[in-house]
Structure 1
Amino acid sequence: MSTSIMCKQMIKPLLNITSGGVGGTLNLQLLRAQKPKEKVVVIMGATGTGKSRLSIDLATRFPAEIINCDKIQAYRGLEITTNKITDEETRNIPHHLLGIIHPNEDFTANNFCSMASTAVRSITTRSMLPIIAGGSNNYIEALISDQENQFHSKYDCCFIWVDVSLPVLHSFVSKRVDTMVEKGMVEEVRNMFDPRADYSIGIRRAIGVPEFDTYFRMEHSLDHDEETKIKILDKAIANVKSNSCKLASHQTDKINRLKNVIGWKLHRIDATNVFMKKGIEADEEWDKLVLGPSSMIVRKFLFGSGYMVHPGLRQAMAAARSVEMVK
């Protein structure tokens, strides 16, 4: 047999691509579907559970930028009352959708979906990992199910739920309100008090604002003695604590619904013991019970078996590990 005949017999099409997808051919839609999705990490939890802290801790270990998903922290102002992280606490990690909305505007779930989708696209084009963190679970659900931006079909999401036993969390949240008062929360809210204000829109929806309305209205009244004013102020602070605890319970119920009813795959991290410690012991528990397991979850999500990741992010990860080893 001649060499030319042998070659003709051996040369066969390696891949027959048609639009039909029948008889051993490959469907073009299937080929497109095999392209790996960009990765997004979503950190959820009730108020006070440490979502911001975890997002920043993870962003120091993985090349990442953070997208705020706390609808009240998206507004400018009331840094103490809304418990915004400080510039120092961000550790130079870029944050998106934090303190950018005018206090009197209404920041809806649709607004968040549009802005968050834009931020995610921007972050991934820089080969960075988007970390969405916040307690507005309705907004997170709206983003994931957003049909207009097709978020779910574009991105592969890893959900981390930082959970704390409600009795322990309620105690922490109440003490946190006392700390906020010591830092100047009452004065901060007083500075933006407007007797004609609408508490149903904008930043005035924040817990810690409407509760002081009665106190501010009668604060300078001659018809009330100082003892009465102090009682009204104490009542306002107690209402802030009560409403904060109710919010924590509501947020936990919402997350449980997403997990047990809607069927979201959530990685639950139990941080209860962290909140039962203080000082160095609390930090050690955080590293052991929260940061350590969360880092392993994210690493497996990005590089585990069966997963692909953007080459730029992989290179950034390698560079970050090299820097860490030098340190």
Structure 2
Amino acid sequence: MRNNTMVRELTLLGLTGNHELEIILFLLLMGIYLLTIMGNILIVLITLANQQLYTPMYFFLRHVAFVEIGFTSAIVPKALANIAIGQKTISLAGCFTQFFLYFVLGTTEFLLLAAMSIDRYVAICNPLRYSTIMNNRICSLLVLWSWAGALLLIIVPAVVLFRMPFCGPNTINHFFCDNGPLMKLACADTSLLELLSFLIAVLSLLGTLAINIVSYINIICTIMRIPSTTGRQKAFSTCASHFTVVSITYGSCIFLYIKPRGTSDLGFRKGVAVLNTVVSPLLIPFIYCLRNKQVQDALRATIRQLVSFWKGDSGISEQKNNTKQ
């Protein structure tokens, strides 16, 4: 029989119980997290500061980068704190908050990636009507619907889970409050909640993935009809970064939330979760900065402006000092 005392604090076992390995993981996770935050902030700042990037594609990318900052910050800082302190605990309220932010922000990213694929479809398949179709109002509505849609999808299972009693045990064999391990701790029948969570995962993952697939099928068919080899290469290059991000993001999430239970080792699932929560957010700024010439040009132009501004300020200060002397 379960203890009737309500649980107020949970224990996260983390990625490993080996202390030496934990030190290496701490340094690795800290480095990746800092690079992720700096890289995504850089994407946000560049797309805001450079007028060359005032296009729907980079408008969506800015919001994706903002989501990635929140997504990884909901998981990694607490995992790092637990490793550093050596006390692998989290309050029940903190666990619920982490769970809610993780799934709302993750679902928002799926919807934003689907919006980006629609943007690429219109840009390549209907270039003459692109500016008319993808105007500021439509882009803003797509972003708003992405946030609202994610909230509507997650709010019901989240409220149901939060209202369930947790009376023991209080140990989660994971490094964050994922839905599967958390539901196992509830002192109630979670079969309906598990079914609801699975249906929402199918809808949010496979539904948005279907939009991406249909868009790219049409994009590829259109590109293959372009007579010029240079034109085909240019068209493919505009979609390559987005397609790479979609492949990595959806691949890891489908494995975690669509694959049948009990079909994979728990340690391997933790590794895939690290790929999804830590590595994938880092790849977005690198993929878009390294593979996209327009972003590279905008970054160089912004750096030149900052250097010129700094030199100008330095020159003015020097003139003032000389005048005073």
**Normalized against structure 1, the TM-score is what?**
0.31
Say which structure, 1 or 2, has more relative contact order (CA 8 Å, 6+ apart). 2
Higher helix share: 2
Q: Compare CA radii of gyration and give the structure with the larger one.
A: 1
Higher strand share: 1
